Amino acid sequence: MNITDIISEIDQDGYSIVRELITGDRLKQLQEDSEALLINIDAKSIDGGTIQGRMHKGTFSVSRGFDDIIIHPVLLDIVRAVLNPARPGPHEEALTDHIKSLPNPDSEISCNIMIKDAAPREDVRSIHRDLRIPVPRPHRTVVCNSLLALDRFTIENGATCVVPGSHKWESDEAPGMEKAMPVLMNPGDIVIFDGLLWHGHFPNCSFNASRKCLNLNYHYRWIRNYPNPKLPDDVWQNLSEELRKVV
Residues of this chain that interact with ligand AKG (CB under 6 A) are: 116, 125, 130, 145, 147, 160, 199-201, 215
Residue 138, preceding bond cis, omega within 30 degrees? yes
- Please report how close the Cβ of residue 4 comes to ligand AKG at its closest, in angstroms: 26
- Please report how close the Cβ of residue 54 comes to ligand AKG at its closest, in angstroms: 11
- Please report how close the Cβ of residue 235 comes to ligand AKG at its closest, in angstroms: 26
CA distances from 160 to 71, 128, 177, 204 (A): 23, 12, 11, 10
Distance of CA 127 to the CA centre of its chain: 14
DSSP 23-89: -HHHHHHHHHHHHHH-EEEEEEBTTSSEEEEEEE-SHHHH-STTHHHHT-HHHHHHHHHHT-TTS--
Nearer to ligand AKG, 119 or 135 (CB): 119
Nearer to ligand AKG, 61 or 215 (CB): 215
- Please report how close the Cβ of residue 218 comes to ligand AKG at its closest, in angstroms: 12
Residue among 76, 44, 39, 59 at smallest CA distance from 215: 59
Nearer to ligand AKG, 116 or 139 (CB): 116
Nearer to ligand AKG, 145 or 166 (CB): 145
Nearer to ligand AKG, 55 or 99 (CB): 55
- 3-class state of residue 197 by DSSP: coil
CA distance 184 to 150: 12
- Please report how close the Cβ of residue 127 comes to ligand AKG at its closest, in angstroms: 9
Residue 124 is given by DSSP the state P
- Please report how close the Cβ of residue 217 comes to ligand AKG at its closest, in angstroms: 7
Nearer to ligand AKG, 115 or 247 (CB): 115
CA distance 144 to 110: 10
